[in-house]
Amino acid sequence: MELIEICKNSKKASKDLAKLNSCEKNEILKACANTLLDNTQEIIKANKIDVENAKKNNIKESLIDRLLLDEKRIQAMANGILQIANLEDPLDEYIEMKVLPNGLKVGKKRVAMGVIGIIYEARPNVTSDAFAMCFKASSSVILKGGKEAINSNKAIVDLFRKTIKNLGYNENIVMLIEDTNRETTTKFMKMNNYVDLLIPRGGAGLIKAVIENSTIPVIETGVGNCHIFIDEFANKDKAIDIVLNAKVQRPSVCNAMETLLVHTNIAKEILPEICEKLIENNVEIRGDSTVCEICKNPKMATEDDWKEEFLDYILAIKCVDSIEDAILHIQTYSTGHSEAIITENYTNYNKFVDEIDSAAVYVNASTRFTDGEQFGLGAEIGISTQKLHARGPMGIKEITSYKYIVLGNGQIRN
Amino acid sequence: MELIEICKNSKKASKDLAKLNSCEKNEILKACANTLLDNTQEIIKANKIDVENAKKNNIKESLIDRLLLDEKRIQAMANGILQIANLEDPLDEYIEMKVLPNGLKVGKKRVAMGVIGIIYEARPNVTSDAFAMCFKASSSVILKGGKEAINSNKAIVDLFRKTIKNLGYNENIVMLIEDTNRETTTKFMKMNNYVDLLIPRGGAGLIKAVIENSTIPVIETGVGNCHIFIDEFANKDKAIDIVLNAKVQRPSVCNAMETLLVHTNIAKEILPEICEKLIENNVEIRGDSTVCEICKNPKMATEDDWKEEFLDYILAIKCVDSIEDAILHIQTYSTGHSEAIITENYTNYNKFVDEIDSAAVYVNASTRFTDGEQFGLGAEIGISTQKLHARGPMGIKEITSYKYIVLGNGQIRN
């Protein structure tokens, strides 16, 4: 199908979707979860083609691992859909209803966004998650996945569409752009007459391309150069636990710490133990000159290291003379994702929380908690690092809009 | 000053601004209102140059009227600033604070957007309004007004900057792009590293250019092809009053009605009187064939008339056989601004409110109420016709963002 036809059909389907109630939506979601379980072998067969092609093309082992589907992972996808079905319907809400002096009743009702486009890379589980979240939020979804996963994505989307059609609904509420060449993707980003919201999920390059080319409103997601600042008034045990957790527990994700800032007044007391434990956990340390004096064998950090989102067992460490210097460093290098202060001091904690302008600002906890499920949103379609519309983890409420409803009795304006 | 320097200075100033409390902000706003009153003659002198240039360039009388400043209008600008100073501070709010099972306290705090860009046409009062609203919302503002108003805008912004500097604050919280050529404007739209939000205020052409070129998140404003549907169960008197008000009270604004839809079952009873009254008020009627049969002398409507935002004493009228047809017509031609149904029927009112997806959906009231002040927001920076971030009238709360605050006691993630 031509791109323009996909967009038109999706827009049309979004109007049918807007009429479905919660029960009907949840029935469809449950059927889609079941179809994944019932057709596990068919999905695995399609996925094998993708994995073999990836191997032929010498794609990195870690990427092949993300691409791979097995019974356990398909089960997890189905469970994810059921979990989303069990969430409260985000559209069942009226907000801020009030009566104006002239008797007009004015308020907002939460409504569907309409059509949501998702551009992502080679993780076929995103196909299933993104569909389920957009659908629960009553929006049609147009999926554009990476070419490496095209056979897996086709298999999954075909199963969803068949299931929806069999239940008597419009299957165009979920559509896949099968043409994976770059020109088509760029054209897709210009479809602002049909698509209401575009969410890129992937690396910095993908996100940059979407921001530069899209005429559709975009929510920027995911790039996280996250910082932890150990204040001079930090509790040493908490500091060590949190630093280790934020770096080592899962270094490949966007909420992992990339730079550690340490107040010079506490550096000698705390840094040797921290560095030792990091090294035990295979972390490569890149420190400034003070860090290099205090610790054994760190590499000297360069300017680039303060900017880098390593997503790996690498940590940049810098000593600062004051909380002001720590805040200034973060303001200079942060991508606005997640930053933490470790301190027992009331004034410093307040200063940090007030002056750090990131999606999530922590006191005495690991940055690894920045996540829709951890924050209690039930599920997550991405972590916004922009300030418009939604910031931080986005659940289903964050991909809805609202409209004003005005109930009168013949009022006219003077 | 070079564009890039303006953007960098504005970003820097936004960080100073974030530290001001409500009292300090209101003190500055009051001083800015006073400086307009104290320097009225200076502003009028600058404005005269713009008006004379406009006359030389044969600019339309209605545009010259928008450009013109006199004592009364400058007084109104000052009053507008004072009104904004008196609004509650939108940043003084924590939202949805809760304690998670692991003891983490998680919630949102409303924060400033950062730097807001406003691109507008030749109305110098926007210079004053937009500054006051962005400032109250703790964001720096970069103003790019139309070239026709450049001398007026320079005079106003210079006065604000002097006043802010004299009070000991960073005057770069308000900056004007004085270079009014189109290339500079297009470059400005690409400054997403410095500017957090761009709001175009003006005609459809300006808004289209911004959407196509901007890499900064945009809120689309203002184009309103608004509809009123007179249902077969309408109260005749209410219908006539509302239709006249929505078309005639101020036809040049975006919330005025442009197309009237009438149920055929009530058309013969109600349309002759409506048409007569509209004609008395100098409204040109463009009707479909049924309307042409019922009423005297209307022009025949063309396909283009259903699409047009006339902003003038012109009204397109169409007869429809059902509420479904009315909804379909609106879904096809509406710009998503404001639509109304006139009905006494419970089921039809609910159907209309549920199925019409516009920023404001009315029952038995004039669409002319879609306005920040009328809706009780205190002031308005524009009316959003997109679904992301804010929809409908935008007050100061609508130009803020939020951040998550997470208060822990040593929590790490498993």
Q: How far is B387 from chain A (nearest CA, A)?
A: 6
Contact between B392 and A406 using a beta-carbon 8 Å cutoff: no
CA-to-CA separations, A177 to A146, B87, B124, B259, in angstroms, rounded = 10, 48, 47, 37
For A341, residues 6+ apart whose C-beta sits below 8 A from its C-beta are A228, A229, A231, A323, A326, A348, A349, A352, A353, A362, A363, A364
3-state class (DSSP) for residue B341: strand
Of A238, A403, A412, the CB nearest to B360: A403
Contact between A392 and B408 using a beta-carbon 8 Å cutoff: no
What are the structure tokens assigned to A120, written together? 């992502």
Place of tokens 């993300």: A66
What are the structure tokens assigned to B248, written together? 């005639």
pTM over the 0.90 mark: yes
Tell me if B301 sits within 8 A of B286, measured CB to CB: yes
Q: How far is B392 from chain A (nearest CA, A)?
A: 7
CA-to-CA separations, B318 to B208, B241, B257, B361, B399, in angstroms, rounded = 28, 18, 13, 19, 38
Q: How many CB pairs under 8 A join A and B?
A: 203
B 223-262: CB under 8 A from A: 235, 237-238, 241-242, 244-246, 249
Of B212, B388, B392, the CB nearest to A217: B388
- Closest residue in chain A to residue B190, using alpha carbons only: A212
Q: Which of B332, B330, B382 is nearest to B361 (CA)?
A: B330
Residue A1 has pLDDT above 90, yes or no: no
In whole angstroms, what is the distance from residue B95 CA to residue B226 CA?
34
Q: What is the pLDDT of residues A326-359, one digit of tens each?
A: 999 999 999 999 999 999 999 999 999 999 999 9
Q: How far is B65 from chain A (nearest CA, A)?
A: 22
* Chain B residues inside the 8 Å CB shell of A392: 403-404
Of B357, B368, B374, the CB nearest to A403: B357
Residues in chain B, pLDDT under 70: none
Q: Which residue has the higher pLDDT, A202 or A4?
A: A4
C-alpha angle A10-A16-A18 in degrees, rounded to nearest 5: 100
Q: How far is B368 from chain A (nearest CA, A)?
A: 6
In whole angstroms, what is the distance from residue B114 CA to residue A336 CA?
12
B 351-390: CB under 8 A from A: 353-355, 357-366, 368-370, 374-376, 386-389
The pLDDT score that the predictor gives to residue A273 is 96
Q: How far is A96 from chain B (nearest CA, A)?
A: 11
Contact between B363 and A406 using a beta-carbon 8 Å cutoff: yes
Of B212, B392, B412, the CB nearest to A215: B212
When the pLDDT of each residue in chain A is averaged and rounded to a whole number, the result is 95
**Is some CB atom of chain B closer than 8 A to the CB atom of A56?**
no
Contact between B405 and A353 using a beta-carbon 8 Å cutoff: yes
pLDDT-based confidence at A122, cuts 50/70/90?
Answer: confident
Contact between B106 and A376 using a beta-carbon 8 Å cutoff: yes
CA-to-CA separations, A319 to A43, A270, A288, in angstroms, rounded = 51, 12, 7
Residue type, A368: R
Average pLDDT over residues A192-215: 92
The pLDDT score that the predictor gives to residue A203 is 83
Contact between B388 and A219 using a beta-carbon 8 Å cutoff: yes
- Closest residue in chain A to residue B402, using alpha carbons only: A391
- Closest residue in chain A to residue B92, using alpha carbons only: A354
pLDDT-based confidence at A382, cuts 50/70/90?
Answer: very high
Q: How far is A404 from chain B (nearest CA, A)?
A: 4
The pLDDT score that the predictor gives to residue A221 is 87
| B362 strand-pairing partners | A406, B340
Average pLDDT over residues A359-383: 95
Q: Which residue has the higher pLDDT, A93 or B85?
A: B85
For B282, residues 6+ apart whose C-beta sits below 8 A from its C-beta are B313
Contact between A401 and B409 using a beta-carbon 8 Å cutoff: no
| Cβ neighbourhood burial of A181 (10 Å; 0-12, 13-18, 19+) | exposed
Contact between B217 and A215 using a beta-carbon 8 Å cutoff: no
In whole angstroms, what is the distance from residue A320 CA to residue A332 CA?
14
The pLDDT score that the predictor gives to residue B378 is 87
Half-sphere CA count of B122, side-chain side, radius 13 A: 20
Residue A403 has pLDDT above 80, yes or no: yes
- Closest residue in chain B to residue A190, using alpha carbons only: B212
- Closest residue in chain B to residue A235, using alpha carbons only: B410
Domains and CATH numbers, chain A: 3-220+386-406 (3.40.605.10), 226-369 (3.40.309.10)
What are the structure tokens assigned to B294, written together? 């019922």
In whole angstroms, what is the distance from residue A45 CA to residue A49 CA?
7
Contact between B410 and A242 using a beta-carbon 8 Å cutoff: yes
* Chain B residues inside the 8 Å CB shell of A359: 403-404
Contact between B412 and A376 using a beta-carbon 8 Å cutoff: no
* Chain B residues inside the 8 Å CB shell of A357: 18, 111, 114, 403
A218's enclosing H/E stretch is none
- Closest residue in chain A to residue B196, using alpha carbons only: A387
* Chain A residues inside the 8 Å CB shell of B140: none
Contact between B409 and A212 using a beta-carbon 8 Å cutoff: no
- Chain A contact probe: residue of B349, B413, B414 with most A CBs at under 10 A: B413
Alpha helices in A122-203 (DSSP H): 124-136, 150-166, 182-188
Q: Which of A312, A225, A209, A299 is nearest to A261 (CA)?
A: A225
Alpha helices in A339-392 (DSSP H): 346-355
Contacts of B102-106 spanning 24+ positions with Cβ under 8 A: B102/B411, B103/B408, B103/B409, B103/B411, B104/A365, B104/A369, B104/B406, B104/B407, B104/B408, B104/B411, B105/B405, B105/B406, B105/B407, B105/B408, B106/A375, B106/A376, B106/B404, B106/B405, B106/B406, B106/B407
What are the structure tokens assigned to B175, written together? 């900056």
Q: Which of A261, A243, A237 is nearest to A323 (CA)?
A: A261
Place of tokens 């022009």: B299
Contact between A374 and B413 using a beta-carbon 8 Å cutoff: yes
In whole angstroms, what is the distance from residue B14 CA to residue A28 CA?
48
- Closest residue in chain A to residue B192, using alpha carbons only: A211
Contact between B410 and A365 using a beta-carbon 8 Å cutoff: yes
The pLDDT score that the predictor gives to residue B129 is 95
Q: Which of B133, B137, B134 is nearest to B90 (CA)?
A: B137
CA B287 to chain CA centroid, nearest Å: 30
* Chain A residues inside the 8 Å CB shell of B238: 409-410
Contact between A357 and B114 using a beta-carbon 8 Å cutoff: yes
In whole angstroms, what is the distance from residue A143 CA to residue A153 CA?
9
The pLDDT score that the predictor gives to residue A113 is 96
* Chain A residues inside the 8 Å CB shell of B219: 388
Q: Which of A332, A340, A211, A354 is nearest to B112 (CA)?
A: A354
* Chain A residues inside the 8 Å CB shell of B358: 403
B217's enclosing H/E stretch is none
What are the structure tokens assigned to B329, written together? 């017509």
In whole angstroms, what is the distance from residue B8 CA to residue B115 CA?
10
CA-to-CA separations, A34 to A31, A85, A159, A163, in angstroms, rounded = 5, 12, 10, 9
Of B104, B217, B246, the CB nearest to A365: B104
Q: What is the DSSP string of B94-150?
A: EEEEEE-TTS-EEEEEEEE--EEEEEE-S-HHHHHHHHHHHHHTT-EEEEE--GGGH
In whole angstroms, what is the distance from residue B274 CA to residue B271 CA?
5
Q: Which of A76, A85, A165, A167 is nearest to A124 (CA)?
A: A76
**Is some CB atom of chain B closer than 8 A to the CB atom of A66?**
no
Contact between A196 and B386 using a beta-carbon 8 Å cutoff: yes
Contact between A217 and B215 using a beta-carbon 8 Å cutoff: no
Contacts of B392-397 spanning 24+ positions with Cβ under 8 A: B392/A403, B392/A404, B392/B359, B392/B360, B393/A404, B394/B219, B394/B221, B395/B133, B396/B84, B396/B87, B396/B90, B396/B133, B396/B136, B396/B137, B397/B90, B397/B110, B397/B137
A 296-335: CB under 8 A from B: 331
- Chain A contact probe: residue of B92, B106, B196, B412 with most A CBs at under 10 A: B412
In whole angstroms, what is the distance from residue A297 CA to residue A243 CA?
19
List, edge to edge, every strand of the sheet that includes A115-120. Answer: A174-176, A140-144, A115-120, A197-201
* Chain B residues inside the 8 Å CB shell of A242: 410, 412
Contact between B406 and A368 using a beta-carbon 8 Å cutoff: no
Q: What is the pLDDT of residues B355-414, one digit of tens each?
A: 999 999 999 999 999 999 999 898 899 999 999 999 999 999 999 999 999 999 999 999
| A221 strand-pairing partners | A384
A17's enclosing H/E stretch is helix A3-17
